[in-house]
């Protein structure tokens, strides 16, 4: 286990900043932060669902990411079903000094894509979740350039 984290950590340091876009799908366990596995990234997207345990996890992961020195740590709210959900997340983020960067609505087509065994983007390129992630892809470069 230790060598796995050290390998990812070293690789991320070795990879170039500019020529390519590097995306790491981290494991659910907080070890990717406590072992400094992802310390070399420019941006940490912390995905949170609108319920307390998920938000608490996001709060811990954000804190660890900031302690690690990641320059941009932001929250992506996911599976948001209604304005109450969105409000609850926005309030939690404000209380705990977390930046709510994007809100992705709950998308029924994901379950259909899952059943069909295809990527969400291939199942329906115009799906709500795809449009939301496209918005993130367009704004994240500007967000990283801003730093902080």
Partner 1 sequence: MKVAVSGKGGSGKTTISGTLARLVGRSGMQVLAIDADTNPNLALTLGMGTDAFDHLVPLPHGLMEHRRVDGETRLSLSRPLEEVTAEFASAGPDNVRLMMVGQVRGAGTG
Which residues of the chain form contacts with partner 1 (CB under 8 A)? Answer: 1, 3-29, 32-33, 37-38, 40-49, 53-54, 57-58, 61, 65, 70, 76, 78-79, 104, 110, 117-122, 129-130, 133-134, 136-137, 140-141, 144
Say how far apart CA 62 and CA 34 lie, in whole Å: 12
- CB of 44 or CB of 85, closer to partner 1: 44
The conformation of residue 39, written as its DSSP 8-state character, comes to: T
- From the list 1, 67, 10, the residue with the least C-alpha distance to 34 is 67
Give the N- to C-terminal CA distance of the chain in Å, as an integer: 32
Q: How far is the CB of 64 from partner 1 (least distance, A)?
A: 9
Q: How far is the CB of 100 from partner 1 (least distance, A)?
A: 14
Q: Does residue 148 sit in helix, strand or coil?
A: coil
Q: How far is the CB of 15 from partner 1 (least distance, A)?
A: 7
Say how far apart CA 38 and CA 139 lie, in whole Å: 21
- CB of 93 or CB of 129, closer to partner 1: 129
Q: How far is the CB of 84 from partner 1 (least distance, A)?
A: 19
- CB of 20 or CB of 95, closer to partner 1: 20
- CB of 5 or CB of 90, closer to partner 1: 5
Say how far apart CA 79 and CA 74 lie, in whole Å: 17
CA 37 to chain centroid: 15
- CB of 15 or CB of 97, closer to partner 1: 15
């Amino acid at each position: 286990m230790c060598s796995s984290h050290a390998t990812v950590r070293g690789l991320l340091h070795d990879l170039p900043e500019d020529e390519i876009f590097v995306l790491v799908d981290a494991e659910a366990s907080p070890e990717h932060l406590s072992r400094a596995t992802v310390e070399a990234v420019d941006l940490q997207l912390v995905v949170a669902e609108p319920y307390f345990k998920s938000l608490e996890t996001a709060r811990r992961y954000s804190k660890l990411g900031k302690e690690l020195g990641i320059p941009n740590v932001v929250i992506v709210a996911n599976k948001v079903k209604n304005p109450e959900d969105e409000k609850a997340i926005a309030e939690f983020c404000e209380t705990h000094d977390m930046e709510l960067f994007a809100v992705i609505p709950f998308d029924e087509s994901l379950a259909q894509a899952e059943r069909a065994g295809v990527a969400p983007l291939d199942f329906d390129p115009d799906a709500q979740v795809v449009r939301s992630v496209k918005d993130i892809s367009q704004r994240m470069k500007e967000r990283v350039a801003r730093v902080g």
